[in-house]
């Protein structure tokens, strides 16, 4: 051994690497995946709800019967066949030809995560400001941090992003002489809160951004996973200019395939493709064929219903366990779709500090601090209900409640 450690490279790192730290969520996964731990920490879809035999057979055929194309390089923008299918999927949410959606303006990405990274590459210079809900998706924070941008959080309540807080944040950034480039928002069944921006607020948020000359990056992995009445139409269905729509098949089909997309304003499409080619040359032809064949030959709308039913049942299990078992002073959101509940702990409890005790009690969650760029969120936690079955969810909440009671008695 030469005794070389990563620290020997510290002086050589690019500036953008210096603030890179492992996300709390990723660090938790190792512990949380131990079988004795009830993990409410993840964000994984319940893949066992897929018809795995039929999907497996389809995947096999893609290699044996279409291998000369599926195993070959592809084009940077993604296959036309998949981009057409993506337009069908978006049409279900109201993003259709009437609002200018076309396969021409779709760029296929390696999951929603690459979509975020591409938008950041195109628009963020070091020091630029991104406005984002507080709290927001941890993976987006990682992308913005790597771009050396500064995230300014905008307050939310149970109706989503607060328009007055958005106006105030825009004014504040302008006063400090900096430039906000875009609003990053997850308006529907948000990660981590599960909250949905109301119809009325959607219009106001769009008006505010338009007036301020702010682009909107709408991230919508969960919009088709609603449990009851239709979710309000996406922002992109309401405005075509200045709105980037990002989504993924990770939650509606399978994250292992890593297929997502951006629907971009036409003028920007080429730049996105060039940036993507520089990163990855092209998305996987095999994974794209898997998704487009799934969409053209298998009952994917039925599968969406199955996911919704499974998650609705698990959401109910989580909400009733919280009602029955949580100590007084705890509150939580009541999501109408998606995968997550956001809990607020009784005064004085710190979700991050409590984590080792929770793990010892064999339950895991994600402390709220992971979802803020500024260290807020210690009094919150994100609870996932898509992966553990209902009885495990209840057992997890029982363990969590008992850890919290012990903390409160300390």
For ligand PMP, the binding residues (CB under 6 A) are: 43, 111-113, 137, 139, 186, 191, 219, 221, 248, 250, 255, 260
| Nearest to ligand PMP of 103, 111 (CB atom) | 111
| Nearest to ligand PMP of 137, 332 (CB atom) | 137
| Nearest to ligand PMP of 43, 135 (CB atom) | 43
Nearest to 288 by CA among 257, 313, 243: 257
Residue with the two structure tokens 């210690």: 378
Contact 25, 357 (CB under 8 A): no
Sequential DSSP letters for 187-205: -SS-TTT-----HHHHHHH
Nearest to 304 by CA among 254, 240, 368, 242: 254
Identify the sign of the CA torsion 159, 161, 162, 164: negative
Please, what is the minimum distance in Å from the beta carbon of residue 78 to ligand PMP?
14
| Nearest to ligand PMP of 196, 248 (CB atom) | 248
Query: Exposed, middle or buried by CB within 10 Å (0-12, 13-18, 19+), for 117?
Result: buried
| Nearest to ligand PMP of 76, 187 (CB atom) | 187
Structure-block tokens of residue 214: 């702010």
| Nearest to ligand PMP of 137, 372 (CB atom) | 137
Nearest to 319 by CA among 221, 406, 393: 393
| Nearest to ligand PMP of 191, 380 (CB atom) | 191
Give the three-state DSSP class for 305: helix
Please, what is the minimum distance in Å from the beta carbon of residue 341 to ligand PMP?
14
Please, what is the minimum distance in Å from the beta carbon of residue 337 to ligand PMP?
13
Torsion of CA 371, 157, 385, 30, to 10 degrees: 10
Please, what is the minimum distance in Å from the beta carbon of residue 160 to ligand PMP?
14
Closest residue to ligand PMP, Cβ-based?
A: 111
Contact 210, 239 (CB under 8 A): yes
Residue 56: Cβ within 10 Å count:
11
Please, what is the minimum distance in Å from the beta carbon of residue 191 to ligand PMP?
4
Please, what is the minimum distance in Å from the beta carbon of residue 135 to ligand PMP?
11
Please, what is the minimum distance in Å from the beta carbon of residue 162 to ligand PMP?
19
Integer Cα distance of 384 and 269 in angstroms: 35
């Amino acid at each position: 051994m030469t005794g070389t450690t990563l620290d020997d490279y510290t002086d050589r790192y690019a500036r953008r690497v210096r603030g890179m730290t492992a996300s709390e969520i990723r660090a938790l996964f190792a512990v949380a995946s131990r079988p004795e731990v009830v993990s409410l920490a993840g964000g994984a879809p319940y893949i066992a709800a897929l018809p795995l035999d039929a999907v497996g057979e389809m995947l096999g055929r893609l290699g044996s019967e279409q291998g000369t194309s599926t195993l070959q390089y592809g084009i940077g923008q993604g296959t036309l066949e998949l981009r057409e299918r993506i337009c069908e999927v978006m049409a279900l949410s109201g993003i259709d030809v009437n609002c200018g959606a076309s396969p021409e303006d779709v760029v296929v990405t390696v999951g929603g995560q690459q979509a975020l990274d591409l938008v950041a590459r195109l628009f963020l210079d070091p020091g630029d400001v991104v406005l984002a809900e507080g709290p927001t998706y941890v993976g987006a924070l990682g992308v913005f941090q790597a771009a050396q941008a500064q995230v300014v959080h905008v307050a939310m309540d149970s109706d989503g992003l607060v328009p007055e807080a958005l106006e105030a944040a825009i004014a504040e950034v302008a006063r400090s002489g900096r430039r906000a480039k875009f609003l990053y928002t997850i308006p529907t069944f948000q990660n981590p809160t599960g909250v949905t921006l109301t119809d009325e607020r959607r219009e106001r948020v769009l008006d505010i951004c338009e007036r301020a000359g702010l682009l909107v990056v709408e991230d919508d992995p969960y919009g088709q996973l609603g449990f009851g009445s239709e979710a309000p139409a996406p922002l992109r269905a309401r405005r075509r200019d200045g709105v980037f729509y990002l989504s993924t098949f990770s939650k509606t089909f399978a994250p292992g395939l890593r297929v997502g997309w951006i629907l971009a304003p036409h003028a920007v499409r080429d730049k996105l493709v060039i940036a993507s080619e520089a990163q990855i040359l092209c998305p996987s032809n095999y994974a794209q064929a898997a998704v487009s064949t799934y969409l053209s030959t298998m009952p994917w709308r039925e599968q969406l219903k199955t996911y919704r039913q499974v998650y609705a049942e698990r959401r109910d299990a989580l909400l009733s366990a919280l009602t029955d078992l949580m100590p007084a002073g705890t509150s939580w959101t009541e999501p109408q779709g998606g995968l997550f509940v956001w809990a607020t702990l009784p005064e004085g409890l710190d979700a991050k500090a409590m984590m080792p005790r929770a793990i010892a009690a064999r339950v895991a969650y994600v402390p709220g601090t992971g979802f803020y760029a500024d260290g807020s969120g210690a009094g919150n936690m994100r609870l996932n209900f898509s992966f553990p079955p209902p009885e495990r969810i209840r057992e997890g909440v029982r363990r969590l409640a008992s850890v919290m009671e012990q903390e409160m008695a300390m």
